[in-house]
């Protein structure tokens, strides 16, 4: 595998009032054109930043993939962050040539709640709420559709995970400590169970919503207590039933966030290798 030297820099891609939103760009040196992946961090929708997935993003850039890791609003309820994400994808397309890539070779990736947002944004690239922020005057006419999606342990059904966490908590101690970390994020970001259902990729498929179905890769630890297996199974079943392609890998013995806690394990290396292989297959 060719290893590239890389440049890493932060740029402002969007501003809300006096608050800039930054993208950390990981750019391989060389002629290109390179695939472009827009990365969305996790953190229960209310925490985290563009640096969260640095382990994966640096490895991808060294393998010849441009990564734009976005900050987005974590202090406002749904769907504010989806509007930032939708804009970020369109912004990346307008910057594709300068980044060393092509506007028709862009994918989305995320981890945990960021992965949920990556899938939801990919399924609804033209949703008027998500596409509400206009590009600067004179920008190319692009939409937020993507060629593929990389799902790293997504909260693929926010309502399912919320009810799962509440049930564990109501059953009393001991329950997984992750429950107390994630439930406040659900309440703060979504506000209502109705919003969680409306913004759930699984439930959108179950209710027959007409959505985009780009090829996806789904990666998760088999012992992950933060991302219920039942929701994963529902998503994979319904995505494939709707005509979408999902490549699924479960890593035995691994729990939530395994790659950030132990990046150099066999599971961590295999995760990165599978992401790179998938991106190359679908983005060139």
Domains defined along the chain, listed by start: 6-283 (3.40.50.1820)
CB 190 within 8 A of CB 78: yes
- Tokens 């969680």 found at: 196
pLDDT for res 259: 87
pLDDT at 280: 97
- Start-end of H helices in 95-146: 96-99, 113-123
> Residue 241: its pLDDT value, please?
98
DSSP code of residue 222: T
Asked if residues 102 and 96 have their Cβ atoms less than 8 Å apart, the reply is: yes
Does residue 25 sit in helix, strand or coil? strand
pLDDT tens string 92-118: 999 999 999 999 999 999 999 999 999
pLDDT of residue 173: 79
Q: Tokens 């993507």 map to which residue?
A: 146
CA–CA separation, 253 and 224 (whole Å) = 9
Q: Which two tokens stand for residue 53?
A: 């997935």
- The average pLDDT across 21-32 equals 95
The Cα 89–Cα 87 span in angstroms is: 5
Residue 115 CA to residue 156 CA, distance in Å, equals 8
Taking the C-alpha atoms of residue 126 and residue 86, their distance in angstroms, rounded to an integer, is: 9
Helices and strands, counts by H and E, the chain:
11, 8
Expressed in angstroms, the distance from the first to the final Cα of the chain is 15
- Contact residues for 221 (Cβ-Cβ < 8 A; gap 6+): 153, 250, 251, 253, 254, 255, 256, 258, 267
pLDDT at 1 over 70: no
Of 45, 76, 79, 41, residue with least CA distance to 185: 45
For the stretch 228-281, pLDDT in tens is 999 999 999 999 999 999 999 999 999 988 887 776 789 999 999 999 999 999
- Mean pLDDT for 218-225 is 95
How buried is residue 266: exposed, middle or buried, by Cβ count under 10 Å (0-12/13-18/19+)? Answer: exposed
Residue 86 pairs with which residues in a beta bridge? none
Contact indicator for 71, 38 with CB cutoff of 8 Å: no
Between 176 and 66, the higher pLDDT residue: 66
Mean pLDDT of the chain: 95
Cα 151-155-161 angle, rounded to 5 deg: 155
Question: Could you read off the pLDDT of 111-164 as tens digits, one per residue?
Answer: 999 999 999 999 999 999 999 999 999 999 999 999 999 999 999 999 999 999
Q: What is the DSSP-derived secondary structure letter of residue 243?
A: T
Q: Is the pLDDT at 42 greater than 90, yes or no?
A: yes
Contact 25, 68 (CB under 8 A): yes
Bigger pLDDT: 43 vs 179: 43
**66 neighbors 98 (Cβ within 8 angstroms):** no
Pair 84, 73: CB distance under 8 Å: yes
Q: Is 176 exposed, middle or buried (0-12, 13-18, 19+ CB in 10 A)?
A: middle
């Amino acid at each position: 595998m060719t290893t590239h030297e890389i440049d890493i820099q932060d740029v402002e891609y969007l501003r809300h009032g006096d608050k800039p939103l930054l993208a950390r760009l990981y750019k391989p040196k060389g002629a290109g054109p390179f695939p472009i992946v827009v990365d969305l961090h996790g953190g229960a929708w209310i925490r985290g930043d563009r640096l969260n997935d640095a382990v994966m993003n640096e490895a991808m850039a060294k393998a010849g993939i441009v990564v734009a890791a976005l900050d987005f609003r974590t202090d406002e309820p749904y769907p504010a962050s989806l509007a930032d994400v939708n804009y970020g994808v369109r912004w990346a397309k307008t910057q594709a040539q300068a980044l060393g890539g092509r506007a028709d070779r862009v994918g989305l990736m995320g981890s945990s709640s960021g992965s949920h947002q990556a899938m939801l944004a990919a399924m609804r690239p033209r949703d008027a709420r998500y596409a509400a922020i206009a590009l600067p005057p004179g920008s190319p006419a692009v939409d937020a559709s993507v060629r593929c999606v990389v799902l790293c342990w997504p909260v693929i059904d926010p309502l399912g995970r919320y009810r799962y966490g509440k049930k564990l908590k109501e059953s009393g101690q001991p329950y997984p400590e992750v429950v107390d970390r994630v439930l406040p994020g659900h309440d703060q970001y979504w506000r209502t169970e109705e919003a969680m259902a409306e913004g759930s990729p699984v439930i959108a498929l179950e209710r027959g919503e007409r959505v985009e179905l780009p090829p996806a890769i789904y990666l998760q630890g088999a012992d992950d207590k933060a991302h219920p297996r039942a929701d994963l199974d529902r998503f994979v079943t319904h995505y494939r039933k709707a005509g979408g392609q999902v490549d699924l890998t479960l890593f035995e013995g691994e729990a939530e966030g395994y790659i950030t806690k132990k990046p150099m394990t066999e599971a961590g290396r295999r995760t990165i290798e599978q992401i790179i292989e998938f991106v190359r297959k679908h983005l060139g």
